[in-house]
Structures are given as C-alpha cells and as structure tokens.
A and B are shown apart, each in its own frame.
Chain A
Amino acid sequence: MKLPKLSKLPKLLVLLGKLLGVVLVLVAMFVAWNWSQLSAFPELPSSYEAKELCSCLFVEGRDQQHCEGFIRQDVVPIDERSYDMEGKAVSVRALWVETRAHYVSPRAGCVID
C-alpha cells in the first residue's frame, strides 16, 4: 500500500482553490452584471401581492379568501399579510421587504405606496 506523496497534496489544493476562485469570479461577475435586476428582486413578491390583493379586494370587490387564492404564488414564501379593510390598504412582507398598496379612488383603483 502506497500513500499519496505528501508533496502532491498542496498542489491539488491549490488547483481546487483556483477552480473555486474562477467559479467565484464568474458568480460575482454575474451578480455585478445583473445587479439592478437582482437587487430589485426581493421586493417583487411583496409588491406584487400587495398591489394585486388591494385591487382584488377593493376594485373587483372580492373577499379575502378568493383574493389570496388569486395572488398566491408558490415560489417565494410570504411572511405576513395585513389588511386594513377600513382604510382600504394591504401590506405584505416577504424576503424581509414590506410593501403596502392602498385604494385611491373609484376611478384610479389601487397603487403601491
């Protein structure tokens, strides 16, 4: 039985390190290249839900159960939905971002705050 030569191990590690480094550079380049899209993404689930819930409730005049079924997306978990039925507004928290949408008027419906 022969053990691998000790002198070869660091070379393997260096190679692995280099490979990892290249992958990291590629990932970082991807992130930098697409930064404006990627950085905006976390607010998408909460603003989508807040706006569409608001319109479903106060423009279409449907109930909460129907509206939650309508806006449900199975990609990003939602932390919290809160409803202000008197003030006609909806807040949604997801991916650490909270977004609120409110009802403006019978003609203008809802808008994200």
Chain B
Amino acid sequence: MSLIETRVGFGFGIGFGLGLAVPLVVLAGACGGASATSQPREAIVLGGPPPFEVVSRTQWPTEGWPVVEPEEVGMDPAAVDRLAAYVFARSGDDVDRKGQRTNALVIVKDGKLVFERYARGYGPDSSLLTWSVSKSIAGTLVGRAVMEGKLDVNDPVARHYPPVDREGVREIRIVDLLQMSSGLDWNETYETSPVFSSVMAMLYTRGRADMAAFVASHELAHPPGTHWSYSSGDTNLMMGALRGAVGEEAWPDYPWTALFDELGMRSAVWERDGAGTIVGSSYLYASARDLAKWAFLYLSDGVWDGKRLLPEGWVAFTLTMAPAYYDTELTPGTLDDNPGAQVYLNHGDPKRGVDKPWPEAPDDTFAAQGHWGKVIFVIPSLDMIAVRLGDDRQYTCNRPDASDGCEPDEDKAYSKHHFLELLMATVPR
C-alpha cells in the first residue's frame, strides 16, 4: 500500500490505478461466474388443456373484428363510459409528459369488439410501439416453431445457437429463456441507470449489431433454471435460437408466415438488429385491434378457425408460473410480476404470503405488458380482452416499486389497478 500511496503522491494515479485494476477485473471475471449444475433437469412435457374453459367459436376476426354494442354482450354501457373517461382523461400536456397518455383502448368480449377509442393522433390502423408486449408474441413464435417440429422447449439453446456452446452457459435450455431463468448476469434497468443497463447497451450501443451474440457473451450469475430475473436479454437470445431453428431462408418472413398471416395481423412491423435477428424483446409495432387477435388465439387454446397453430398444451405451459420464481428472492420491483412463459400471470405466491398482483381481476387473468403503460389483459373467465397502449412517463404510487416522482392521485396517472377495477365494473356479476 505504501508503494501505491507514494507513487500517486507523485501524480501517477491514473496510470497506476489502471494497471492495478485491469488484473483485478480479469481475476473477478475468472471467479465471478457461477458454476452450472450438471444434473439433468426435468423435461417439460407439453399437453393438457389450458386452465380455463375454452369457448367454441363460430366467428374469427382474421378479416376484422365483428363490432357490437356493449349491451349486446351483457356489458354495462355506463360503466364502459366511466372506464373510457378514466383512460382518456389527460392531466398534463405533451411537453410535461405527465398524467395519463393513452394512445389506444380496445375491448373485446365474447369474440366481438365492444369498444375502441384512440387519442394523441393514433387510429385503428396505426402500428403502435409495444415495447415488451413484443415478448409475449415472441413466445408465440417459439410455440409455432415447436408446432412445426423445428424446436423443442427442452433443447439446449446451443443446439440452435452455437455461440452459447461453452462451459456452463451451454446448460441453458429454450424453456429457461421462455421463463426468463437463464441465470445470465443481466441488468434490466432503463432510464434510471442508462450507463449500466444491459438493455440499453443491447438495444442501442454494444449489442445493437447482434443482440443474441451480446446476450450470449454474458456469464452466468446463477445456474440455469434456478433463478428468475426479468430479462430482455433472455428473449433476444431466444430469438437467436429461433432463427437457427427456423433456418435462414424462412427467417426474414417467419413471424408473418407462422403467425401474422394466419391471424390477419396486417399492421405488424417487427424491427431487427444489425444482424437481421428480430428484436423479440422490444420492437413489435402493431395496432390495438391486431394485438387483441393474439390474445384471442390464446383464449382459443392455440386453435384458429379450425387450424391448430400452437401445440396442445402450449397455452397451459405459457400460463404456468416459471418454477424458478418461487426460489427467487422477491424485491419491490419483482413483487408485482408473476412470470409465466413470456407472459404475466395473476397467481401470487401464497406460500410466501405474496398476494395476487391484480386483486381486482379474476385469478385466470394474464397479460402481455410493456414499458410506458402498454398492456394486453386477457380474462378467460369473462371471455374478455382489453388492449391499452399508452406512453406514460409517470406512474401512480400504487406500484410496489413506485419512486419519488410517482403520482399519488390515480385519477391523474394511469393505474392498472384502477383500470382493472373499472374494467370489472363493466361486467355485472
């Protein structure tokens, strides 16, 4: 130590500091990675019905949703008006970006469109940014590839994406990525810590040329399948594996040939990284009406107009909690998340005294959720879908991870709890 002090005293601080720190980094890198479990893990066997009653359909919205008045499907029109008044109330302007900033709201009940409204310059045909809602549709693409026999959820990722074929990391399976349990060392923060955010680096700087490769370059923080951690990286590594499984020829149009064309999702735009891999985590753009079609496929257990698009048991698997979640320490930020396979569930964790994240909604509610107030709520027991796309930069204080700038008055900023409360009031029970 005396040597260091003496030398910096003479002004060699930076040079010497670097010289000291670099070997330390190397040392930390060598010791930092968790050793992976080599025990074989239980294989997922797909099968069985979804955890809700599947309604048999006579009409399919491929060419467009049939439109009815709320009363025709037993909804209370006055309650629908109250919901709309809440969702479209603005308390700030576009400069301060405060308050509720809803772009679109679409409600489907019994397979019919009962309400839609748009604001802030968007319309029924607009392709809107969905951020992480994309992940749920990315999960569906994997389901399509499983259906087509191109991939198995138990496959090691390395089988389809060779860059992960290295010590430890090669233990990651497709199911681990679907359930965000890869164990990769990943920092999922956004605006709050832009320098150290793995997501920002992936999307905009070090990872943008090839996002799957960027994710694959991370070391394990936990053995695969043992620790749940919300990760956009896991989704994009999954896209790398999907690309490998699907093959280069089919890849550029795969989301369309496999899914969007079948459902009639004509508004879909899905951006790619510099290597041409679809950015499954963040960059699907679609209309609210088309996003409701994705939900309708799940309500129909993966069958669309007589054709099975998703394997039997895929919807049930998607709506099963990621097992690693139960072994993962809860933090204020993750209390609100009940992860299925690239979707959110409403189960809670009774063993640890954790309530359902959406107590206002039925237990079978599930959702695709994205940053800045984007959501597709699906409520099978009510045969209901609600797509709300917003651009909220300020959240209400009823989130467990609410920060100092949160809005205490839920009338002044979007609250998913209040939204669900008002949505439930539209269906007299």
Contact = CB atoms under 8 A, between A and B. Distances in A.
Interface string A1-36: 000000000000010011011101111110111101
Contacts of B196: 34, 37
B204 A47 contact: yes
A106 interface: yes
Interface in B352-398: 391
A44 B17 contact: no
A36 B206 contact: yes
B241 interface: no
A46 to B, nearest CB: 9
Contacts, number: 129
A75 B9 CA distance: 35
B191 A28 contact: no
Interface in B266-324: 268-274, 283, 285
B94 interface: yes
A48 B205 CA distance: 9
Contacts of B52: none
- Tell me what chain B mostly uses at the interface: helix, strand, loop, or mixed: mixed
Contacts of A87: none
B274 A112 contact: yes
Nearest to B255: A107
Contacts of B250: none
A91 interface: no
B119 interface: no
Nearest to B272: A108
A62 B126 CA distance: 10
Contact of A25 (B20, B22, B126, B195): B20
Given A44-B205, A107-B256, A109-B285, A60 B270 contact: no
A64 interface: no
A31 to B, nearest CB: 8
Interface residues of A, number: 46
- Tell me what chain A mostly uses at the interface: helix, strand, loop, or mixed: helix
B391 A60 contact: no
B129 A60 contact: yes
A109 B97 contact: no
A108 B7 CA distance: 56
Given A37-B195, A55-B129, A109 B271 contact: yes
A112 B204 contact: yes
A59 interface: yes
B5 A60 contact: no
B382 to A, nearest CB: 31
Nearest to B95: A69
B11 to A, nearest CB: 8
A83 B194 CA distance: 25
Interface string B8-35: 1100011011101110110000000000
Contacts of A29: 17, 20-21, 24
B128 interface: yes
Nearest to B191: A73
Contacts of A75: 194
B99 to A, nearest CB: 14
A25 B5 CA distance: 9
Contacts of A33: 21, 24-25
B9 A106 contact: no
Given A28-B18, A44-B194, A112 B285 contact: no
B185 to A, nearest CB: 13
A85 interface: no
Interface in B45-103: 94-95, 97
A55 B126 contact: no
Contacts of A109: 269-271, 283, 285
B152 to A, nearest CB: 28
B14 to A, nearest CB: 5
B208 interface: yes
Interface of B: 4-5, 7-9, 13-14, 16-18, 20-22, 24-25, 94-95, 97, 120-122, 126-129, 191, 194-196, 200-201, 203-206, 208, 252-253, 256, 268-274, 283, 285, 391
12 contacts: A14-B9, A25-B16, A25-B17, A32-B18, A32-B22, A33-B25, A41-B195, A41-B205, A44-B205, A48-B200, A55-B283, A61-B127
Given A32-B21, A32-B22, A109-B270, 11 more contacts: A22-B5, A27-B17, A29-B24, A37-B201, A38-B195, A43-B205, A47-B204, A66-B120, A75-B194, A107-B256, A112-B274
Interface of A: 14, 17-18, 20-22, 24-29, 31-34, 36-38, 40-41, 43-44, 47-48, 51, 55-56, 59-62, 66, 69-70, 72-73, 75, 104, 106-112
